[in-house]
Amino acid sequence: MSPDDQRRADEGGASDERETSAARLAQHLGWQVRDPQLFSQALAHRSWCAENPGREPNERLEFLGDAVLGLSVTDYLYRRHPGLPEGELAKTRASVVNSASLAATARELQLGQCLLLGKGESSSGGRDKPSILADAMEAVIGAVYLDAGYEVADRVVMQLFGERLREAARGPGEEDYKTRLQELSAQRFDQLPLYQVSDTGPDHAKVFRAEVYVAGRLAGRGEGRSKKQAEQMAARDAWSCLQADDETAQAGAPGTPGP
């Protein structure tokens, strides 16, 4: 087989895997796709469109999906929490409708495996970049809306973000350091935290231990009686360390007043 034939075979295999991942994604969302071209557009990054003239990137669908997501979340909060004042409603919505939350949800769905990316973007880790994942997540929501209507799009949004909304609307309580760390990591490194969790002990008395990695480096550890609690403790450890690094850097910056 010639090098060109091998390249075409590799690309064909990658295309088959991507299409399988996309079909699995639609099935997971409960979305019976009527317009495959629309779904394909939602997954098309501008870097891929630059290599494939005549194909439209997902940016317009992203714009639409942002509005659909905002309406769905706002409607849910307004109807379910009549006692929350406007300021709290806005704060709760912002804790869910943000790039870090969108990217984390996209990662959970393995959306990156479905994306159409240019060769350079793909080889540089674009399938795991929070900005690309967040935009694609909104584009998929926009495509669902156009293809199946608002009712289905609203159901998909609640399926994806309902639990986050319910946690955010509970008000003050245990600090959500996982969300804080997501936002900080996405802003500073354009990457999301990665968690590794193990457990020891009998079923009735398990102890969970979590490690969280930020930008490829171990950033925090934590343990608890549940996986969620261990991840929160690890996130708090990492977030505190990153904040301390910021303060140290600022204190040592030229022109910074000393104590």
> Are 111 and 140 in contact, with CB atoms under 8 Å apart?
yes
Question: What residues does 197 pair with on adjacent strands?
Answer: 210
Q: How far is CA 56 from the centre of its chain?
A: 23
* Burial status of residue 141 (CB atoms within 10 A of its CB: 0-12, 13-18, 19 or more): buried
Q: Which residues are catalytic?
A: 66, 138
- Where helices occur in the chain by DSSP H, the ranges are 3-29, 36-42, 46-51, 59-80, 86-96, 99-108, 119-123, 130-148, 150-169, 177-189, 227-251
Question: Computed over its alpha carbons, how large is the radius of gyration of the chain?
Answer: 21
Say if residues 32 and 148 touch (Cβ distance below 8 Å): yes
Q: Which two tokens stand for residue 258?
A: 């000393």
User: What six digits make up the tokens of 164?
Assistant: 């986050």
Q: Which residues contact 96 (CB under 8 A, 6 or more apart)?
A: 73, 161, 164, 165, 168
User: What sign results for the dihedral spanned by CA atoms 166, 171, 175, 176?
Assistant: positive
